[in-house]
Structure 1
Amino acid sequence: MVRYSLDPENPTKSCKSRGSNLRVHFKNTRETAQAIKGMHIRKATKYLKDVTLKKQCVPFRRYNGGVGRCAQGLDVDSLVIEHIQVNKAPKMRRRTYRAHGRINPYMSSPCHIEMILTEKEQIVPKPEEEVAQKKKPALASRLRTGLRLSTSVSLPSVAVWFSSLDPHVLLWIFKKFLEPYIYPLISPVVSRIWPKKAVQESNGKNIGKVDCKGADTNGLPTKGATEISDKKKD
Structure 2
Amino acid sequence: MARINYSYTPEDESKAAKAMGYEMPISFKHAVEICRELKGKKIDEAINYLEDVIAMKRAVPFRKYKKKVAHKSGLEKWYAGRYPQKAAKHILKVLKNLEANAEYKGLETDRLVIVHAQAKKGRVLKRYMPRAFGRATPRFKVFTTVEFVAEVR
- Shorter-chain TM-score tier: 0.3 to 0.5
Q: Which has the higher strand share?
A: 2
| Bigger radius of gyration | 1
TM-score by length of 1: 0.30
Comparing both chains, which one has the higher relative contact order based on Cα–Cα distances under 8 Å and sequence gaps of 6 or more? 2
